[in-house]
Amino acid sequence: MIKLKLSILVWAIGLSMTAFSQTTSSLRAKVLTLNDYPDALRLWELYNDSASVMDKATQLHAKVSLYYYFNRSDEMLQCVDSLLTLYPKECTTEQKLAYCYVKAEKLLEKGHYKKLNTWWKSLRKDKKLYREIEKQENFPCSEKAIQGLSDKDDFRMDFPESSSTVPTSYTYPLVLSVTINGTTLPATIFDTGAPYTFLTKETATKCNVQCMGDTIPVKSMFGTSQATTGFVKTLQLGSITFHNVTVHVSLLEKDPIFSGHDALLGLKELRGISALEFEFGKLTLKQKSLRSPLDPNMCFAETGCAFLFANGQNYLLDTGGEGSFSNTPDSVSTKVIDVNGYPVQFFNTYTTIPAAQKSGLLGFPFFSGFKICTLDFDRMNFSGEGYRLRKSYSELMNSGDMIGLDIEYERISKTTDEMGKWLTNASLEMMKNKPESCIQYTDSLLGKYQQELGGSIIYVLNLRAASLAYLGLYKEAGDLMKMCAQAVPDMINGYNKCMALTPFGAQQLSWEQPEVTLNTTFSEKGFLASAEINGNKNKLYFAPDQINSSISEADAGKLNMKIIEFEDHTTATGKKRMAIANELKLGNLLIKNVQFNLTEGNDIILGNSLLRLIPQFSIESQKLVLMQQVQSFTNAKQYPLLLINYTFCFRDPDDDTQKYSIGNPTPYTRKITLQDLCKSSGKIVFDMKDMKLLKIN
C-alpha cells in the first residue's frame, strides 16, 4: 500500500511538472510575442496575472519590456544584466542584440557616460555579437559618441523645490524659454513628440555646445534631418537645472523642423520628473520624493515618444503637432472621435494598412482642450480635467453659442489676432448690456479692418445699429439698418421700428431715491406689484423671464397710451403696433417713454427691454427692491450673466456645462422658469452693471 501511494505521488508530481513545463513554455511564447509598444498593456496584464507561474528567465524577459515601456530604466538595466549574465542560454542572438541595444540606449539616456564606455569596451570582446551590432543602422549611439562622452561627468538634475512652473505661449507652437550653458533661448518649442532636445546649428554655436562628430538621422514630418550628438553642461528650465546633458544638433543650415525657432525641448530629460502638468499659458513640473506605483494607460515607444492607449488605438502625445491625426480607411477628411471620453477632432490620413489604422497623433489642440492635463511619468498615466472641444470665436458666433463665447473669452483674447479680439469684445459687450463699449469696438473694426472683414461687415454694422437702438438713438440706428437692408432685406423691419420710435426717444429712468422697495405677490406670470401709468393706478407684472414689456390694446387705450404702427413683414398682417406710456411710476422711480408690445392678454407686463435699464434689482417671494447703485452682498454665489436677444442667460462658474436661459429657449442653454430659479435660492439679485446673477440663501 505504501509503495502504491508512493507510485501515485510520483506519477502526480510528474504530471504536475509536465503541465508546469507546458505552461512555462506557453507563457514564454506569449511574453516574447508581446514585444512591441502597442502590446505593453496586454503584457502588463499577463505579467500581473501569471508572474507566479513563470520561470525566472521568463519573468526577466517580461520585465525588460515592461520596464522599458513604462519608464523604469534602472530596473530594466538590472533585468538585462541578469538575463545576459545568469541566463545567457535563455536568450537567442537576436534577443541579446536587442538587450544590448536597449542597455546602450538607457545608459546614454540616463547620462551614465563612463559606465556606457566601460560596458562598450567589454562588449567588444564578444566579437560575434559586436559584428552584429556594427551591422545595425539605428543603434542608439555610435562608438564615436561613446568615446567622446567617456570623460564627461554623469548627468544629474537639481530640482530645488517640489514643483517649478514655466510660462508658455498660448498659441501653437507651444513656446517657452530655456537656458543652455548660460545663454537664454526664449523661442524654444516644447515638443513631447521629440524624444531628444534638438538644437539648430546656429544655436549650438551660440551656446558653445560641444559636438561629438557622429551622424544621427532625425525623422520628422519634414523628412529626415541629419544631426550629431551634442554635449551641454547645463540646461535650465524654470528653477530646474539639468547638468551634463546630451542633445541632438542639426547639421543642416536653416533646418525646417525648427520653423524659425531656436530649439526643440524633447522628453529625454523630463522623463526623470514625476509629472508634467499643462495649463493654459503654463507648464508645471512636479517631483515626488517617492515614486508612485504604476497605473498605466500610456507608454514610451522604442522611438522615445509617449503613446496613449485608447479604444484599441495608440496615439502619439505630441504637443508639437499642429493638429490631431488618425490613420483610417475613411475618405472623410475630418472626424470627431472619442478618445477615453474626450471628443477629439481628427484630420484623417487615408491608409488601407491594418496595422497603421491602429495609430494616430494627439496634437496641440488636444492638450489645449483641457483646463489642466497631466503626463504622470511615475504612474505612466495621462489624465485631464475640464476638457472641451475648443472652437474659434468665429465658430462660436456662427453657431449662435454666445454663452460659449463668454466661457472661452480668456482663451480667445490670448490666442486670437486683433480683429478677432475686437469682434469678440463687440459681441460680448452688447450682451453684457454695455452698448457704448460695443459701439467703440465696432468703430475700431470699421476704421481699421473694413477690407479684412469681408461679409462680416454686415454683422458689425448690425451690432452697431442694435447698440444705438439700446441707447435710444433710433434715428442713427435706423439709418444703419436701412443701409444693411440692401444686403439683408429683413433688417428693413428694424428700420421701420426705429423710425416709428424716433419721435419718442429713449426710455428714461428718474430716481428720486437711490432705492425703491415694492411689495409683491409672486405667481407664474411674475411678481405682481403696484404701479402708476400716466397717472392711473394699476397692477403689473415685473417679469425678468419676458423679452418685451406688453399690454393689451384695450388697456393701452384706457391708460391714454400713444399707439404707433409700422410695417413688419414677420407678422401675419404685415404690420406691427406698439404702445408708448408717457410716464410709469414704480414707487418713487419715474420711467418715461415706456415701450409696450400690444398683445391679446389681459396682463400688463414689464419685460427685459425695460428691466435691463435698472442697474440692480433683487427679488424675493414678497418683496422687490430696485437700486440705482450696485450693492455688494456677502455670502452670495455669483453667476456670469448675459442678455442674449433680451433673454437673461447665466452659467454656473464651477461647471461650465450648466448653462441656463430664463423663460425663453436660447441656443446651447437649458430653459429654466422664473419660478424654479426663485425656488433655488431665498433671494435673487440681477446686477445689470457687472452682469451677474447672485443667489443668496
Reply yes or no on whether the pLDDT at 137 is more than 80: no
pLDDT of residue 328: 76
Quote the pLDDT of residue 15. 34
CATH of domain 393-501: 1.25.40.10
Average of per-residue pLDDT values in the chain: 91
Q: Which of 18-27, 100-109, 297-306, 688-697 has the least mean pLDDT?
A: 18-27
pLDDT tens-digit series, residues 648-658: 999 999 998 99
Q: Tell me, what's the pLDDT at 535?
A: 95
Provide the 3-class DSSP secondary structure of residue 636.
coil
Domain ranges of the chain: 2-149, 156-284, 290-385, 393-501, 508-696
pLDDT over 60 (residue 371)? yes
pLDDT range class, residue 22, cuts 50, 70, 90: very low
**What are the contacts of 410-414 at 24+ separation with CB within 8 A?**
410/280, 411/170, 411/280, 411/368, 414/170, 414/171, 414/280, 414/281
Topology (CATH level 3) of domain 156-284: Cathepsin D, subunit A; domain 1 (2.40.70)
pLDDT at 133: 78
List the grid coordinates of 694.
447672485
Mind listing the pLDDT tens digit for each residue in 540-558? 999 999 999 999 999 999 9
Fold of the domain built from segment(s) 508-696: Cathepsin D, subunit A; domain 1 (2.40.70)
Q: In this predicted structure, what is the pLDDT of residue 23? A: 63
User: Can you list the positions of beta strands (E) in 295-371?
Assistant: 298-300, 306-310, 313-317, 324-328, 334-339, 342-350, 359-362
Residues 611-620 have a mean pLDDT of 96
CA 33 to chain centre: 38
Structure-model confidence comparison of residues 416 and 23, the more confident one: 416
Q: Please indicate whether the domains covering 156-284 and 508-696 agree at the CATH topology level.
A: yes
Position 1 pLDDT exceeds 80 = no
**pLDDT for residue 305 is more than 60:** yes
Handedness of CA 113, 114, 119, 123 (dihedral sign): positive
Q: How confident is the model at residue 622 (pLDDT cuts 50, 70, 90)?
A: confident
**pLDDT of 9 above 60:** no
Cβ atoms of 175 and 419 within 8 Å: the answer is: no
Residue 472 vs residue 331, higher pLDDT: 472
Q: Which residues contact 114 (CB under 8 A, 6 or more apart)?
A: 150, 154
Average pLDDT (365-389) is 96
At a CB cut-off of 8 Å and minimum separation 6, what does 646 contact? 547, 548, 607, 608, 609, 612
Average the pLDDT over 276-295 and give the result: 95
Comparing CA positions, the residue from 43, 22, 19 lying closest to residue 31 is 43
Q: At 18, is the pLDDT very low, low, confident or very high (cuts 50, 70, 90)?
A: very low
Taking a C-beta distance cutoff of 8 angstroms, is the pair 541, 602 a contact? Answer: no
pLDDT of 356 reads: 65
Q: What is the mean pLDDT of residues 437-463?
A: 96
Bridge partners of 342?
339
- pLDDT at residue 17, as a whole number: 37
> How large is the average pLDDT for residues 242-252?
96
> Mind listing the pLDDT tens digit for each residue in 456-501?
999 999 999 999 999 999 999 999 999 999 889 999 999 999 999 9
The conformation of residue 502, written as its DSSP 8-state character, comes to T
SS3 of 282, please?
strand
pLDDT of amino acid 327: 82
Q: Is 167 helix (H, G, I), strand (E, B) or coil?
A: strand
What does DSSP say about strands 589-599 and 550-552: parallel, antiparallel, or unpaired?
A: parallel
Distance CA 579, CA 556 (A): 7
